[in-house]
Amino acid sequence: MIRRPAVAGQFYPADPQSLRKELVELTGGRFPPAEPRGVALMVPHAGYMYSGRVAGETYTAVRLARRVVILCPNHTGEGEALAVIDEGDWATPLGPVPVDASLARRVLDGCGAARVDREAHRREHSLEVHLPFLQHLVGDVTIVPVCVGTHHLETLLDLGRSVASAIREAGGDVLLIVSSDMSHYVPAKVAARQDHKAIERVLALDPEGLHRVVREEDISMCGVAPAVAGLEAARRIGAREARLVAYSHSGETTRDLRSVVGYAGVAVT
């Protein structure tokens, strides 16, 4: 089975040559360093013209891996609460990205709420936009696509534990990617203030604290659910520290500071 691109030509170029040129620009021509090894990354998922530079800086901040688990939010409301694709390829303008079937099966076996489901991924953009970066910077990669459509804390922590267990059992380098934008459609000053409350909990590797502060402060961070699961997984597979690589917002592109979307890039090592 092949998952066809849903947002090529909208969020990023559909033409391979134009896409490669844009990826070079967004990464500043850099490639990931040999060290430190990345345990996890939190990377934004808006159109490249808005969040691509934050993504490019984040993807070139640590050593990447050829096996990747990607946790993304569910913007469409379609499909299962925890939707995993366990076989086939994801097509991009740069070619196919195979699903890591054995690693996906480990995640599914370990998490009671996870289901094999393609519907949640069919129109979802927030995982797709990361694949060209990985293809450009790493080359041959395999992925485990997980779309997270629940905010139930215990379910998210259980997913995190299952992902961590799957990564440990797999052995070798496996990178965990959390796909998330930050505050949505608020003034830039409000976004910066609110977002840094959430970022503080991410940098502390505190999934429960992130879940709590986003709820209590009404922060419109669309990827809080995958971030909670990802932080739980990261701390269970030995993450030592996290740092904010870059922060930006859509107003830097539109020049409208009255209503912005925030973007944060975090590297966990």
Q: What is the pLDDT of residues 73-84, one digit of tens each?
A: 999 999 999 999
Residue 139 to residue 245: CA distance in whole angstroms: 23
Q: Would you state the pLDDT for residue 67?
A: 98
Taking only Cα atoms into account, the Rg of the chain, rounded to an integer number of angstroms, comes to: 17
Q: What phi and psi values does residue 142 have, to the nearest 5 degrees?
A: -120, 150
Q: Would you state the pLDDT for residue 36?
A: 97
240-265 pLDDT, tens digit each: 999 999 999 999 999 999 999 999 99
Q: Would you state the pLDDT for residue 101?
A: 98
pLDDT-above-90 percentage for the chain? 99
Residue range 194-205: average pLDDT? 98
Q: Would you state the pLDDT for residue 166?
A: 98
34-75 pLDDT, tens digit each: 999 999 999 999 999 999 999 999 999 999 999 999 999 999
How high does pLDDT run on average in the chain?
98
> Of 11, 42, 6, 10, which Cα lies nearest the Cα of 223?
42
Q: Which residues contact 140 (CB under 8 A, 6 or more apart)?
A: 66
Residue in the structure block whose two tokens are 């059992």: 169
Residue 27 to residue 54: CA distance in whole angstroms: 9
Q: Would you state the pLDDT for residue 232?
A: 98
13-32 pLDDT, tens digit each: 999 999 999 999 999 999 99
Determine which helix (DSSP H) or strand (DSSP E) holds 51, and give its type and residue range: helix 48-59
| Cis-peptide, bond into residue 36, ω within 30° of zero | yes
DSSP letter assigned to residue 12? B
> Of 209, 183, 237, which Cα lies nearest the Cα of 46?
183
Q: Would you state the pLDDT for residue 169?
A: 95
113-159 pLDDT, tens digit each: 999 999 999 999 999 999 999 999 999 999 999 999 999 999 999 99
Q: Taking the mean position of all CA atoms in its chain, how far away is CA 15? A: 23
